[in-house]
Amino acid sequence: MTALKLAIDRSSAVPLYHQVVRGIEAAIRNGDLSAGSRLDNEIDLAAQMNLSRPTMRKAMDELVRSGLLVRRRGVGTQVVSNEVRRSPEITSLFEDLQEAGGIPTSEVLAFSREPAYGTVAESLHTPPGTYVYHSFRLRRVDGRPLALMENWIREDAVELSEALLSSRGLYEILRAAGVNLRLAHQRIGARIADDAEADRLDIAPGSALVTMLRVAIDDKGRSVELGRHLYRADSHSFEMTLVNR
Amino acid sequence: MTALKLAIDRSSAVPLYHQVVRGIEAAIRNGDLSAGSRLDNEIDLAAQMNLSRPTMRKAMDELVRSGLLVRRRGVGTQVVSNEVRRSPEITSLFEDLQEAGGIPTSEVLAFSREPAYGTVAESLHTPPGTYVYHSFRLRRVDGRPLALMENWIREDAVELSEALLSSRGLYEILRAAGVNLRLAHQRIGARIADDAEADRLDIAPGSALVTMLRVAIDDKGRSVELGRHLYRADSHSFEMTLVNR
DNA sequence: CAGTGGTCTAGACCACTGC
DNA sequence: CAGTGGTCTAGACCACTGC
């Protein structure tokens, strides 16, 4: 039953409910709210911060969805656990690696502008024969090979070049071009590396690879990017938190 | 700008916003709302169904989150695409297979009650030495081996037996015991099968496996289940839809 | 029974988009 | 500029939980 004093700034451009979300996240992170501790009820919390109950509730909805809080009707609201992470968001490998403190680099093995047919055209929802960018890159972290990444990108979303792809992550380039990705559909599996792949990733032939196929869709509903990536299984796995209801 | 007539039943126990969610989902599924089509604005939609705008908005929030609708301020709301699926929910392999029309069976290779130490005790948040159930199962679909599943389950959540595990899926057993799973933290990767695993899964030694490590947490915040599963890479992959913001 | 979250209403003002 | 979604308020009644 922690008293939880959060500073709400009504003159800020940040929505009030979002300030509450950030505040509670911070309180959990720095230990003011410990795992398992109970919060005051919604109405009191709202009153304490001079907010309406719906605004308070909207903030708590978000925290429940992201897995930080658990609510039980008739009982109350608790902090779940320090260890449970946030819901998965659409992030690029480049950014994930940077956040983890590594130095990612990209070597562009091939880059072209070419007509899309078959699966590629279907995935990007373009008429067969539409020109798209096609890239094939080797991603290293701190100099060690980690992933082979093949991508197809719609031409009408962004202007790409080999030089650009060598220096920055694809998602960073897309964002800079005003493309807001909203949805990504992924399929994660596994297979054995062939000799060429093993050679490029610096592993023994026959080693295991994690495979990912992804289609990313922007806020205008366009299927902007198709990616077919191969990761060294000894260096990469996918983590996610699923939330029910 | 489809007129979208949904029947709302105010006497039903199903919340109004949820009836709207279901109705729009159904309209998208059966084609009344086609991919890319625009909905009326929120206020008109609410009026058409005799609902308040917040209730209408709550329904649309859910549909945006699950990836069926896209909203743009100042512009309107659109149906995204037939192909984009729902957010991932916590499901069991058993139920996924049944839904896909297969006949899953479980062979219990080992079952015991044993004290948990190390990683298992940490993952389940029990004091070291606490007794837990430990099972090792082979999952087949239509007679074909698909997965080797090792699980640890807290004793205080459910009563388990070898007979029970042979006849039903683990999640079905948990649900029947009143355990409501709310969160699952998963890590998906890959590795090579050793000889024993290859033999049991009926694949060549050295074949690729998809690996999954999962901790599932119930609505009371207990870490109920730890799972370490191995899937034939030629038969199983994980699909998910990620939604930003 | 008191206390909690779950649902719902009828408004209000604002920021952004596209013409 | 008109039209749209984004945020926020101040209530109301209900269903469920645990004592």
For residue A16, say whether its CB is under 7 Å from any atom of strand D. Answer: yes
Average pLDDT of the segment spanning A227-233: 93
Nucleotides of D under 7 A from a protein CB: 2-12, 15-18
Is residue B157 over pLDDT 70?
A: yes
Report the distance separating Cα B187 and Cα A152, nearest Å: 27
Is residue A12 over pLDDT 70?
A: yes
pTM above 0.85, yes or no: no
Is residue A87 over pLDDT 90?
A: no
Average pLDDT of the segment spanning A80-104: 60
H or E element that contains A28: helix A16-29
With beta carbons less than 8 A apart as the criterion, state whether A64 and A70 touch.
yes
Contacts of B227 (CB under 8 A, 6+ apart): B149, B150, B151, B152, B212, B213, B214, B215, B216
Average pLDDT, chain B: 85
B206 touches chain A (CB under 8 A): yes
For residue A50, say whether its CB is under 7 Å from any atom of strand D. Answer: yes
Angle separating helix axes A16-29 and A53-65, nearest 10 degrees: 50
Chain A stretch 112-141, residues whose beta carbon is closer than 8 A to a beta carbon of chain B:
125
pLDDT tens-digit readout, B158-202:
889 999 999 888 888 888 888 878 777 788 889 999 999 999 999
B236 touches chain A (CB under 8 A): yes
Can you give the distance from the CA of residue B238 to the C1' of nucleotide D4 in angstroms? 38
Contact (CB<8Å) B183/A67: yes
Can you give the distance from the CA of residue A177 to the C1' of nucleotide C17 in angstroms? 19
Alpha-carbon distance values, A76 to A69, B84, B142 (Å): 10, 35, 45
With beta carbons less than 8 A apart as the criterion, state whether A129 and A117 touch.
yes
Give A98→chain B minimum CA distance, Å.
20
Identify protein residues whose C-beta is within 7 angstroms of any atom in strand C.
A 39-44, 53-54, 57, 71-77; B 15-18, 50-55, 58, 72-75
Is residue B95 over pLDDT 80?
A: no
Average pLDDT of the segment spanning A209-218: 88
Average pLDDT of the segment spanning B103-111: 91
Sorting pLDDT into bands at 50, 70 and 90, what band is A222?
confident
Percent of chain B with pLDDT strictly greater than 70? 88
pLDDT tens-digit readout, A21-53:
999 988 888 888 887 788 999 999 999 999 999
Residues of B in contact with A65 (CB under 8 A): 65
Nucleotides of C under 7 A from a protein CB: 2-12, 15-18
Is residue B244 over pLDDT 70?
A: no
- Which tokens sit at B16? 């109004």
Q: Considering only the beta carbons, identify the residue of A85, A219, A220 that sits closest to B185.
A: A85
B190 touches chain A (CB under 8 A): yes
Interface A–B counts its CB contacts (< 8 A) at: 159
Contact (CB<8Å) A190/B190: yes
